[in-house]
Amino acid sequence: MSNRRPPAFFISGSLGLGFLNTLATPADTPVDWIDHNDGLLSWLEQARLVPAEVREALKARAVPGDFDAVAAQARVLREWFRGFIWERSGRKLTANDLGDLEPLTRLLGRDEQYSRLVIGRTEGVSGLELQTHRRWRTPGSLLLPIGEEIAKFVCSGNLESAKACEGSTCTLLFVDRTRGRARRWCSMAICGNRAKQAAHRDRRKSGQ
């Protein structure tokens, strides 16, 4: 892993869709944020999907190769989801799409979530809250919150608004929530500004 890898991008408006941005070309060179175990753990940390104590506990119990195997599974999940998204870009999901979600359904079926009562942080009638927790039994359980975020995106109705940045080399994806779905860039400060500069140069050339 290169120490010069930039921080992960969270510009998509959805962690589920943003998972696809772990492989992207924000400038000229492709970057894979989950190319091995440390990359996956770093992305999960930046996405705030797995508590630090859970990551440390899993690392303490793991044997060599465990996390590399999970990172490989994460990349397979990512490319399956990328294909699913591109085949359905711009349209609503229907019952006919459910069968193609089987890889996600199998992953979600491995989850071990449970609820428990805790003392609440906000004032209420009883002072209690019902919290949901997850049993993190193996390194493979690191994929569970990713699957959950993908499922949230699939069910959100935002697939119709998913777009790829129009930057000439950029491949980042995002949910366009602007009026009239007019958003074109992952970021106006990066790709939008580059496009403006390129257009300005073209205008100057044409005026010569």
Strand partners for 133: 114
Report pTM: 0.85
Domain that holds residue 131: 15-207
Residue 37 maps to a domain: yes
The CA R_g of the chain, rounded to the nearest whole Å, is: 20
Residue 8 maps to a domain: no
Cα distance between residue 113 and residue 135, in whole Å: 6
Q: Domain holding 95: CATH number?
A: 1.10.3300.10
Cα distance between residue 173 and residue 17, in whole Å: 7
pLDDT of res. 171: 84
Residue 9 maps to a domain: no
Residue 150 maps to a domain: yes
Domain count, the chain: 1
> What H or E segment, with its residue span, contains residue 117?
strand 113-119
Residue 29 maps to a domain: yes
pLDDT of res. 196: 66
Residue 111 maps to a domain: yes
Residue 122 maps to a domain: yes
Residue 155 maps to a domain: yes
Q: Tens place of pLDDT for every residue, the chain, 208 residues?
A: 445 678 888 988 899 999 999 998 877 788 899 998 899 999 999 999 999 999 999 999 999 999 999 999 999 999 999 999 989 887 889 899 999 999 999 999 999 999 999 887 766 566 888 899 999 999 999 999 999 999 999 999 888 888 888 887 888 899 988 888 888 888 776 787 766 665 545 556 665 5
